[in-house]
Structure 1
Amino acid sequence: MTRPLAIFDIDGTLVDSRESIFLAATEAARTLGLPEPEYDRVRKIVGLSLPEAMRTLEPQLTTPELDRFVEAFRQCFHRLYAEGHEEPLYPGATDLLRRLHRDGWRLSLATGQNRKGVARNLTRQGWAELFVSSHCADDGPGKPHPAMLHAALSAAACDPDAAIMIGDTTHDIVMALNAGVRPQGVAWGFHTPEEQIAAGAPHVAETFTDLEAALDRFAARAFA
């Protein structure tokens, strides 16, 4: 029997990066002399590739200005990491990943982070051993294009109807629908449950316990 594939977003789903992303966007805006963005504007761009996110945040920028904006955002993260900063995991994240892996699920990552960010996260204790594959914005079209999910399905030799995409943004939900994969929202990240449901999520988990139950229901239906 084919084992189910759970494809996880990182920021806002497994890792609480709300503070650091908002700080980086704020510092980048200051670098260009732009007004500091409100958090509600910043949260809506999370999940997109960084250039696309920055273009969405400040669409009036010229191409050279956008390049500076993107680089200023990156430099803030470089400084944070040099100072020893690490975004915290949401409580229950690693426990759920380990339980799914132990029970025979295949696991993958699909994120708007770049490859360096993915590599950094895979150094978390035990993570590198849990995932079949990881896919990011450096690999090709970013969310909500389905390319990352097509690559994850191929790496796991999995049919779309045996896979579920877990994320916290509308970009995750639409990407899953575009790939023919079941979307599963979570309520603790960047986009609200209402936004995710409006984008097509059939369910948004309120807690990791709720998410675990939703994944168990998916596996039971997919392989009944």
Structure 2
Amino acid sequence: MRLVVFDVDGTLVDSQADILASMVDAFAAVGLDAPARQDILGIVGLSLPVAMEALVADADHARMVEAYKGSYAKLRLSKGASSSPLYPGARAALDRLQAQDDILLGVATGKSKRGLDGLIEAHGLNGMFVTRQVADFHPSKPHPSMLRAALEESGVETADAVMIGDTSFDARMAHAAGMPFLGVGWGYHAPSQLDGARAILNDFSELDDALNALWTD
């Protein structure tokens, strides 16, 4: 069996509008102006407490995290699937992989369990992923804990697994776990930041060939 682990924000779904809006609310909750757009998107993938600390050193980070979570949940409930739309070709790629008897799918995300569960429900992805690793139960990326848990839960060996993501945190997490990494070029970090990527995908239509090349090397 082989395991394909996806990051979520910036890889499977484009959630930047709600991330930016929720971060504005988080900073407003402690009387601060939000950082620039590129600075906010630069921390996507980190667990929220770590992300807040990276954006502002001296603030009530716990209050910011709660404000962010509340804002994001309200946006998700009001907008449904349009809150974090799937990138073009993402659903078709997931369906193709799930249809293969020797491939298991998983996710490793900085989202909370509540956030990931809501997104999966909104997009009708229930039953798609055999392992769902979230920020609630692990150190923040790039610590390899999520990927180690995904391997253990799925029963797949490291050499038969791959991490797919859009940020340097994903790349570093995969490296720390000894897992091959495929980057995507449509996410929140520039492709030049995805050190050690075996390939950079420009479109989900390139995923199948990239996986075949990875596992036939």
Match of residue 111 from structure 1: 109
Deviations 1:163-212 (A, max 9, x none): 00000111100000000100111011111101113xx3232111111233
Deviations 1:23-54 (A, max 9, x none): 11122222222122101100111101111111
Match of residue 94 from structure 2: 97
AA in 2 matched with 1:193: P
Name the CA distance, whole Å, in 2 between partners of 1:158 and 1:152: 8
Change (3 A) 1:125 1:19: closer
Q: CA deviation at 1:126?
A: 4.6
Name the CA distance, whole Å, in 1 between partners of 2:188 and 2:123: 25
- Decide which of 70, 77, 91 is 1:75's aligned counterpart: 70
Write out aligned runs for 1:193-208 (5 A): 193-197=191-195, 200-208=196-204
- Decide which of 210, 214, 217 is 1:218's aligned counterpart: 214
CA contact (8 A) 2:198 2:214 kept: no
Name the CA distance, whole Å, in 1 between partners of 2:78 and 2:200: 35
- Decide which of 155, 158, 177 is 1:157's aligned counterpart: 155
Name the CA distance, whole Å, in 2 between partners of 1:125 and 1:114: 17
Change (3 A) 1:67 1:29: same
5+ residue gaps, structure 2: none
Aligned-residue RMSD, C-alpha? 1.4
- Decide which of 118, 127, 134 is 1:136's aligned counterpart: 134
Q: CA deviation at 1:124?
A: 4.1
Q: CA deviation at 1:122?
A: 2.4
AA in 2 matched with 1:173: A
Name the CA distance, whole Å, in 1 between partners of 2:170 and 2:160: 17
Aligned length: 214
AA in 1 matched with 2:58: Q
AA in 2 matched with 1:194: S
Other structure's SS at 2:35 match: coil
CA contact (8 A) 1:135 1:148 kept: yes
Q: CA deviation at 1:217?
A: 1.4
Change (3 A) 1:23 1:125: closer
Name the CA distance, whole Å, in 2 between partners of 1:103 and 1:7: 15
Q: CA deviation at 1:125?
A: 4.8
Name the CA distance, whole Å, in 1 between partners of 2:110 and 2:183: 16
- Decide which of 87, 99, 105 is 2:84's aligned counterpart: 87
CA contact (8 A) 2:106 2:130 kept: yes
